[in-house]
A = this chain, B = another copy of it.
């Protein structure tokens, strides 16, 4: 019974699945790329890597090579690879869409290289289903609150609605992209 893996933990596992990386590499990725959700602070990354290692999900070893500085490169273990896959295979649920979409998008980003196109499309399936189920309840809520809300509150709410609507459109676009590549 391994302890639960945090969102940051999965992000690290996913990146390591692509290539062995050091803590410093990972920090640079979070600092420089659009993965701004995750902190690049050493106080976050290094302890997280240690925890994954304690859980036997990754293994770090100091790079031996032409007189370089000590650099601990981490690789996923078989158990780590399996944990990542299980995470990527989880169908999208209400929580995933109602509470921040960035973790979901990270999952989607990793899905194809790790599990293959079919799994990515399955993620899109469940994403569309969840959004389709969520949108009406949001629209209802808006209709109910419209009268009592200040204008800027209503507009902020509508911005949320638009986010989900445009995500649905994106999902269909993503589907088409997968079809084209077959």
Contacts and interface: CB of A to CB of B under 8 A. Distances in A.
Tell me if A's interface is mostly helix, strand, loop or mixed: helix
B167 A151 contact: no
B105 A159 contact: yes
Interface string A86-118: 000000000000111010011011111100010
B98 A36 contact: yes
A136 interface: no
A6 interface: no
A66 interface: no
Contacts of A117: 151
A150 B149 CA distance: 44
A167 B158 CA distance: 11
Q: How large is the interface on A (under 10, 10 to 19, 20 to 34, 35 or more residues)?
A: 35 or more
A173 B173 CA distance: 24
Contacts of A159: 105, 167, 170, 174
Contact of A34 (B37, B106, B157): B157
B99 A151 contact: no
